[in-house]
Structure 1
Amino acid sequence: MDEAKCIQLLEEHDIKPTANRIVVVKALASSIQPQSLAELESRIETIDKSNVFRALTLFREHHLVHAIEGTGDGTRYELCHSHHDDHDDDLHPHFYCEECQQTYCLDGVEMPQVQLPAGFKQHSSNFMIKGTCPHCKK
C-alpha cells in the first residue's frame, strides 16, 4: 500500500495521518497474516514499541484494526477492510494453527450470528477456530 492510500485510510477512520501512523499502517498492509506487537516492532525499526502500541490502540478505537485474541501468543492485529470509524463491517473468523502457531484470516467465511439476551449490546466479536492448518497437516 502506498503512502497516499495509507493517508486516505487513516483519514477515512478519522485519524490524523502522522509519519509514525503511516509506517504502522504500511507494515500491517504488507502483512499476509495478523501481526503481534513484537512482530510489528521487529519489522518497524524506526519506531519504538510504545509508539507502535499507541498507534495500534488508536487504530483499534477508530475501527482501523481488528485485535485478535486467543492465539496463544497474545493479541494480533490486522487492518480492517471497513471504511467507518464507528463500527466494523468486515468481521470474519480466524484460524489458529496449534502446530505452527500461525493465525489465518478466514475472509469470506461468515461469522455465526449470536442472539444476545435483552439488554446486552455487542461492540465487537472475536471468533477463533483452533486446529491444524493444511501446511502442517501434510
Structure 2
Amino acid sequence: MKDPVNILKEHDLKHTKQRVRVLEEIALDKSAVSQPELEKKLGKEIDRVTLYRILNIYEDKGILHRIMDMNGTANYAICSGSCSEHHHHDEHVHFNCTNCLKIYCLAVTIPKVKMPAGFKANAVSATAYGICENCNAI
C-alpha cells in the first residue's frame, strides 16, 4: 500500500491523524475489516461517529470498497489504484471464510456479464464461500 498521507493528498483530502490511522489499520490486515473491528482496534483514538464519516468519505473517494459479510455487516478493504471518486473498479472475487468469517479480496477477475435488454449494470460482484488458507492449515 502507498503511504496513507500520499493517498489522502491524491484524493484531495486533508491528512488528519484520524484519517491516517484508519488507513494504517486497514492496511495491516490481509482481510477486509468491519467498522466494529476498527472501533476495537483503534480504541479511544477515534470515536464511532468520526470513524463512520471517515469510512464513508473513503468509499466515496474510491479509497476503500465495501463488502458485505454473511451477517450483513459492512467490511472495508483498500481499493485498487484504478478506483476513483466516480467509479469503483474492484470487480474481483471476494472470499468469505465460513470458519473464521474473514473476507479476502482475491486476484480473480469476475467474467463479463451480458445483461438482458433494458438492463444496465453499474457494478458486478461475486462472493465465494468456504475455508480460507489459514483455517485449512489448522
TM over 0.5: yes
Asked whether the equivalents of residues 4 and 20 of structure 2 are also in contact (C-alpha less than 8 Å), the reply is: yes
1:69 maps to which residue? 68
Q: CA RMSD in A?
A: 2.2
2:99 aligned residue = 99
1:80-109 C-alpha deviation (Å, 9 max, x unpaired): 122533222343111111122121221x21
Taking a change above 3 Å as real, the CA distance of residues 98 and 82 of structure 1, as seen in their structure-2 partners, is same
Change (3 A) 1:21 1:118: farther
SS at structure 1 position matched to 2:4: helix
Cα pair 2:98 2:130 within 8 Å, conserved: yes
Matched, 1:123 2:122: yes
Residues 27 and 78, structure 2, Cα contact 8 Å, conserved in 1? yes
Equivalent-residue separation in structure 1 for 2:8 and 2:70 (angstroms): 27
| In structure 2, distance between residues paired with 1:105 and 1:15 | 25
- % identical equivalent positions: 32
Q: Which runs of 5+ in 1 are unaligned?
A: none
Q: 5 Å matches for 1:21-60?
A: 21-45=19-43, 46-60=45-59
Separation in structure 2 between the aligned mates of residue 32 and residue 89 of structure 1, nearest angstrom:
19
Q: How many residues align?
A: 135
The TM-score with structure 1 as length reference comes to 0.83
TM-score by length of 2: 0.83
Deviation at 1:77, TM superposition (A): 0.2
Farther off after superposition, 50-59 or 118-127: 118-127
Determine which structure has the larger strand proportion and give its number.
Answer: 2
Alignment of 1:133 with 2:132, yes or no, is: yes
